Amino acid sequence: MMKNIETLKKENMNLADKIYIFDTTLRDGEQTPGVALTVDEKIQIAQKLNNLGVDKIEVGFPASSKGEIESSKKIHSLDLDSTLVGLARSLERDIDAVIDSNLDYVHTFIGTSPLHRDYKLNMSKEKIVETAVSAVEYAKDHGLTVEFSAEDATRTERDFLFEVFNNVVDAGADFLDVPDTVGILTPVITHELISDIKDNFTTPISVHFHNDFGLATANSLSAVECGANQVHVTVNGLGERTGNCSLEEFVMALKSAYGIDLGLDTTRFYSLSNLVGRLTGVKMPVNKPIVGDNAFAHESGIHVHGILNNANTYEPMSPEMVGHSRRIVLGKHTGANALKAKLKDFHIDLNENQFDKVFDEIKALGDSGKCVTDDDLVAIAITELSSARETPIVIKGLSISIGANVSPTATVKLEIDGIEKETASTGVGPIDASINAIRFLIKDTIEIQLDEYNLEGITGGTDALAEVFVITSDLQNNKATGRSTNQDVVMASILAILDSINKLLLIRRAN
């Protein structure tokens, strides 16, 4: 049962009145190995993030390159509603680069954990505090809003973390950020840590969680549950190594679990994900929550049946909420309801007998490991619709010659639209030779490509029945399946290929 924010507060969930979304796709997201965005690409993404309604956009790390300063300036000149942020180490020159980029919000950081102190910075605790404080004071003196990050906070001694935070708060820090730099938190540990910080500091708390164990979204939710005021996120969960908390996952989980609407236009998530995927070259896996191809795809008969009656049966939110769409996939788990719905979508009417045949064909395709595309379905159904199955091409003769040190040769005789033709061709094996001969004989009628060839022995023994299943396509990309069972593997193959070629011809003649 979903609870609203007031109920949750009454139940002692320490939710902040306002939860800020700080998007770092253009900074941490760009640190994804192999990703580099041009100035124009950064501008495109910043505009979309702004239209989505994120509170803050970390536009880059200005001290790291001239291009970063240029893109930050250009994004600033767009006069977006989102607050723009620049990253800076706790160094005056880095903060100057943020100022030179026309930004007035700096996210400054320094490593605080023993590992960072000893192996990266080679600084004592005192020096870390002094450096952090000077940076915050310098930025405040230059009129900037300052968010301070204690890098690797989650592996920092608690008393030292608090010492650093206390000192930067005194120096004027406006936000305290808690980076889980190598993603080691769990929701329960996050709860303890953030509750402790909230109990000891009144400055707004931000979290920046990495996803090394796949927990960044869960940990960010946990942080918000005990009062975190801001969450760092990236589109598609991009970022260093395995990435950061995913923007779309966090926002939708918060909405689904607690009914908390952060006011973002979530219907833009899917198109934004695609844009970022295209520009960064990091494509999402099909099972990526919210924006993956399968996020609203259904195949199994039981699920599709439920979905067709009421989509809530197997969907936690509607695809429209995130600008995605529902997809019924046909395959080995398909049920009759799914097929009926699909055929209806394509306005294809089949009688019971034709429907059964199409259904069997789809199941068989699924069993052979294939997922049936919409094009496959249309091809199969149209073929079935031409009930008086003409067979424009009929096999009239086949002889094979094979032997040691000779190329396998197939002599094939076909009747094509009533005219007999014969030829002999060689190949790497008898099936290949036969296909070459068929291709030659039909070349004036149709040019085909063999997209899939599957051979299975149905029974055992040397006289086993062979079942061949093929998919062929023509130059117009029409596709057709073909199937045949025979005791002779070569014959089964030829008949399956001719079956599919005849279907292709029927599809072409029907168009």
- Residue numbers of the site for ligand KIV (CB under 6 A)? 28, 109, 149, 151, 179, 181, 208, 210
Binding site for Zn ion (CB under 5 A): 28
Output the smallest distance, CB 373 to ligand KIV, in A. 41
Residue closer to Zn ion by CB (options 132, 216) is 216
Output the smallest distance, CB 475 to ligand KIV, in A. 51
Output the smallest distance, CB 369 to Zn ion, in A. 40
Binding partner of 151, given ligand KIV, Zn ion, none, CB within 5-8 angstroms per partner class: ligand KIV
Residue closer to ligand KIV by CB (options 179, 408) is 179
Alpha helices in 328-402 (DSSP H): 336-345, 352-367, 374-385
Residue closer to Zn ion by CB (options 107, 303) is 107
Output the smallest distance, CB 101 to ligand KIV, in A. 17
In sequence order, what are the beta bridge partners of 397? 413
| Residue closest to ligand KIV, measured at CB | 179
Output the smallest distance, CB 94 to ligand KIV, in A. 11
Q: Please give the Cα distance from 325 to 248 (Å, whole number).
A: 15
- With 0-12 / 13-18 / 19 or more C-beta atoms within 10 angstroms meaning exposed / middle / buried, residue 101 is buried
Q: Please give the Cα distance from 146 to 137 (Å, whole number).
A: 9
Instruction: Kindly report each contact of residues 467-473 with a partner whose C-beta sits within 8 Å and lies 24 or more positions away, as own/partner.
Output: 467/492, 468/492, 468/493, 468/495, 468/496, 469/364, 469/365, 469/368, 469/496, 470/496, 470/497, 470/499, 470/500, 471/370, 471/376, 471/500, 472/448, 472/497, 472/500, 472/501, 472/504, 473/448, 473/449, 473/504
C-alpha distance across the termini of the chain, in Å: 52
Binding partner of 149, given ligand KIV, Zn ion, none, CB within 5-8 angstroms per partner class: ligand KIV
Residue closer to ligand KIV by CB (options 154, 481) is 154
Per DSSP, the residues of 168-216 read: HHHTT-SEEEEEETT----HHHHHHHHHHHHHH--S-EEEEEB-TTS-H
Q: How far is CA 385 from CA 45, 471, 473, in A?
A: 48, 19, 19
Binding partner of 109, given ligand KIV, Zn ion, none, CB within 5-8 angstroms per partner class: ligand KIV
Output the smallest distance, CB 312 to Zn ion, in A. 36
Output the smallest distance, CB 257 to ligand KIV, in A. 25
Binding partner of 227, given ligand KIV, Zn ion, none, CB within 5-8 angstroms per partner class: none
Binding partner of 174, given Zn ion, ligand KIV, none, CB within 5-8 angstroms per partner class: none
Q: Are 502 and 443 in contact (CB under 8 A)?
A: no
Residue closer to ligand KIV by CB (options 64, 134) is 64
Residue closer to ligand KIV by CB (options 90, 502) is 90
| Residue closest to Zn ion, measured at CB | 28
Output the smallest distance, CB 278 to ligand KIV, in A. 24
Residue closer to ligand KIV by CB (options 109, 296) is 109
Binding partner of 145, given ligand KIV, Zn ion, none, CB within 5-8 angstroms per partner class: none
Residue closer to Zn ion by CB (options 111, 227) is 111
Q: What residue has token string 């979309």?
A: 48
